Amino acid sequence: MENNIENPMQKVQSHDWNQERLEQLKQLMPDLFTNDGKLNINELKQIVDPKSLNETERYEFRWFGKSNAKREAFTPTDATLVFDEERSLNPEHSENLIIEGENLQVLKLLSKSYREQIKCIYIDPPYNTGKDFVYSDNFDQDKKEYWEDAEMVENGLKIDTNMESDGRYHSNWLNMMYSRLLLARQLLREDGVIFISLDDNEIHHLRKLCDETFGESNFIGQLIWTGGRKNDSKFISTSHEYILVYCKNFDVLKSEVKEWRIRKKGLDEIYNTYNKLKFKYKSEIQSIEKELKEWFKGLPNSHPSKAHKHYSCVDENGIFFPDNISWPGGGGPKYDVLHPKTKKPVSIPSRGWLFSDETKMESLIKENKVHFGPDENSVPCLKSYLKDREFQVPYSVFYQDGRASTKRLRALFGDDFFEHPKDEIVLKELFEFSTTNDDIILDFFGGSGTTGQAILELNKEDNGNRKFILVQIPEITDINSKAYKAGFKKISDITGKSGHSDHVIPV
């Protein structure tokens, strides 16, 4: 008999309150803990007395300027946001924002009214290729803040390139990212997530930086986006980049959101073909099935529908694939199942039937969900319908042609005004599985406004009401560029004019 009475002699351990309090502190401020989970007392001291610095050796991620970058993140700004009526479209109806300004300052401003309000952040920061500019935060408090100089903002900002020859090349980039990520975390809801695009130049640093900023346990995945081959290397032709995914609080995400699902690609083409065949052959199931198989066979391997070629059987309920009906691992139940035509017991799978309950098998046969061979000599299969299997967990590796988005943006503007825009189809998918109806999505490296476009398209598709906030610095475009000649003097002019802007607020 089970004994539920506690043995009074048994040593009962009391709850470890200190551990619990440390866990709570870690949840609240993961940046105070080292990568291996220990409280960094010096970091804690710095909050109380910012001048105190007492370094000891331990496992941690350090670079030049790190403490300054953190201090800068939490130093208040006296900048304000000003509504720009002239450049705003539809302000009464739209709650989308495009903010022209330097993102560190804007993030500080947003943290007043959007703290823990943002469901999803997507950013595509400078990759630190040695050619792109990295805004260098000036910690000198005496410096006149650039946005106070109205003329400067009007004409755009000239920002220097972070050259590889600079001794603080990585540190510059890390400092820029660190302060912004610390603020970004504050804006995220407890069930919020952040996606960060990057390539091999800094991904190894970013992963460590995010472990520190968001906490190692809040790492969700590192997506690999393959986008076609580049023949610009003598050794390895890199044909991919990354999207790093972290959440604010994995426990909350697990309990509130439960799972991420994405619709498989290439399904609509299969349904279209099937519908055409149904129209052509009416109830001649075998002819539909035969031609559907031929259609799959004729598809190139790169076609998204090809991955579903096993869904090539058809009955009056739709398209299905004959799935295994045997007990996983073996040792399953073995009972007689009669063939519907010959009325003789069919071959039993060597591992036994999938259903231990015979009545379950009977009802599936009645519902026409079991696929029998021509006679009792073959093992039947379970019909697995495409319409019931349309969604899957997103994969960590995916393909999307890297050049296609440039072509589409060219079509939108009539020319090449922005180099390397991200693909709105990919972003739409990220937002599809990570956000719902009224969520707010933030992109503080706005560029040509792809995030805005992706949100508008997704809302259109699923009747959603998501809102976006884009931030773009008024970086001047090259005087010889097509964008400049067409009147886009600043990148923020492109963000606002790319057809996605509903509401523009310059800083």
Ligand X SMILES: C[S@@+](CC[C@H](N)C(=O)[O-])C[C@H]1O[C@@H](n2cnc3c(N)ncnc32)[C@H](O)[C@@H]1O
The amino acid that residue 101 corresponds to is: G
Long-range interactions of 363-371: CB distance < 8 A, separation 24+: 365/337, 365/340, 368/315, 368/316, 368/317, 370/325, 371/313, 371/320, 371/322
Enclosing H/E stretch for 286: helix 285-298
Structure tokens at 158: 């000239």
Closest distance to ligand X from the beta carbon of 355 (Å)? 50
Closest distance to ligand X from the beta carbon of 490 (Å)? 9
Nearer to ligand X, 137 or 289 (CB): 137
Phi, psi for residue 183 in degrees, rounded to 5:
-75, -35
What SS3 state is found at 332? coil
Which residues here bind ligand X, judged by CB under 6 A? Answer: 102-103, 124, 126, 135, 418, 421-422, 445, 447-448, 450, 471-473, 475, 491
Instruction: State the pairing for strand pair 240-247/381-385.
Output: unpaired
Nearer to ligand X, 348 or 412 (CB): 412
Nearer to ligand X, 192 or 421 (CB): 421
Nearer to ligand X, 321 or 413 (CB): 413
Structure tokens at 224: 């690999």
Q: What is the CA radius of gyration of the chain?
A: 29
Closest distance to ligand X from the beta carbon of 448 (Å)? 3
Closest distance to ligand X from the beta carbon of 134 (Å)? 7
CA distance 423 to 421: 7
Closest distance to ligand X from the beta carbon of 235 (Å)? 26
Structure tokens at 96: 């989308």
Closest distance to ligand X from the beta carbon of 20 (Å)? 39
Cβ-proximal residue to ligand X, closest one:
447
Enclosing H/E stretch for 122: strand 118-123
428 contacts 408 by C-beta, under 8 angstroms = no
DSSP state of 137: P
What are 188's strand-pairing partners?
118
Closest distance to ligand X from the beta carbon of 117 (Å)? 20
